[in-house]
Amino acid sequence: GDSVTQMEGPVTLSEEAFLTINCTYTATGYPSLFWYVQYPGEGLQLLLKATKADDKGSNKGFEATYRKETTSFHLEKGSVQVSDSAVYFCALSGSGYSTLTFGKGTMLLVSP
């Protein structure tokens, strides 16, 4: 079945550092890929998505590129802020009629 693997956290960075959170997936066909973010005490909200190979999703300075050859969708940001501290979830939506499959989440902690 479909699966998503994320790097374990927490990831601890200083403000303005470069961020990478790795995400790889296993799926048949051509899934859509998503990054969701969960701020403390809140529900998840969509950060960005990509629906086909080589697409780049971007939002709020975050980017991720859909790499079919490496089955990856790594999240990057050039300069993190304290307000980016949250849990980040990679997810996929399989081709056809299916629901989302989530990774286990990666906590990001940014210090001033």
Partner 1 sequence: NAGVTQTPKFQVLKTGQSMTLQCAQDMNHNSMYWYRQDPGMGLRLIYYSASEGTTDKGEVPNGYNVSRLNKREFSLRLESAAPSQTSVYFCASSEVAGGPSDTQYFGPGTRLTVL
Q: Which residues pair with 23 in a beta bridge?
A: 6
| Length of the chain, in residues | 112
Q: Are strands 23-26 and 3-6 parallel, antiparallel or unpaired?
A: antiparallel
Return the residue of 22, 44, 65, 72 that touches partner 1, per CB under 8 A.
44
Q: From 11-19, 20-28, 39-47, 75-83, give the range in contact with partner 1 by CB under 8 A.
A: 39-47
> 3-state class of 56 per DSSP?
strand
Q: From 19-27, 59-67, 78-86, 90-98, give the range in contact with partner 1 by CB under 8 A.
A: 90-98
Return the residue of 40, 70, 99, 112 that touches partner 1, per CB under 8 A.
99
